Structure 1
């Protein structure tokens, strides 16, 4: 039988998955390459492993939400990511949904819902 810790970790991962996507999209309103994006997220209190970030970036780009461009910086080729027009539109919709859902969940947890 799973322990409370096992159950918590599984549910925590589910909770984080959608939240990380929203945080990445929000951060990519400004251009970043992987390392600076990961650093900006960490500074905001959102930790993400490289092994999760790069596949997510590729998936979001394949969905049309991001654009990317290879450029040389400091004598190294780096792939820079930014929201596409569709990404900005989807981010606005997700932000509205996040705020509505978050407010409702907060009310429920406070015992007001």
Structure 2
């Protein structure tokens, strides 16, 4: 197997990033925001995510009770605003705690092998 194969690398990078986008969305949406603004914010912060991935993710997180939403119809174009729920805030905290633990262990592993 050739580990220099860009398709293999891209697939593994996609897997690695998938969970981080969930965590990033929960963190960013502690303040209410709509989908496109979230997409821009995540992109600006280095979380490259496609709109075709983000919008279904938002609906799934809402269905799971991790986000709440409401429509803003005061503007010419109605927008659905999302906000992290209390349950989503707890999950984000738990995920960050585990992320930090994993990062610490990975750093230790890479120092041992260097």
Give the alignment's TM-score, normalised by structure 2.
Answer: 0.90
Aligned to 2:76: 75
SS for the counterpart of 1:111 is helix
Deviations 1:47-84 (A, max 9, x none): 11100000000000111100000112531100000001
Partner Cα distance (1:106, 1:55) in 2: 33
1:85, distance to aligned residue in structure 2 (A): 0.8
Residues 6-25 of structure 1: pairs in structure 2 closer than 5 A:
6-25=7-26
Partner Cα distance (1:73, 1:35) in 2: 17
Partner Cα distance (2:75, 2:111) in 1: 50
- Structure 1 residues 101 and 19, CA gap change in structure 2 (3 angstroms): same
Partner Cα distance (2:93, 2:43) in 1: 22
Partner Cα distance (1:21, 1:32) in 2: 15
Partner Cα distance (1:90, 1:11) in 2: 24
Q: Which stretch of structure 1 is more off in the superposition, 10-19 or 69-78?
A: 69-78
Deviations 1:28-63 (A, max 9, x none): 111110111111111111111100000000000111
Partner Cα distance (1:24, 1:110) in 2: 31
Aligned to 1:91: 92
Work out the number of aligned pairs and report it: 113
Mind listing any 5+ residue stretches in structure 2 that lack a counterpart?
Answer: none
Give the alignment's TM-score, normalised by structure 1.
Answer: 0.91
Mind listing any 5+ residue stretches in structure 1 that lack a counterpart?
Answer: none
Aligned to 2:44: 43
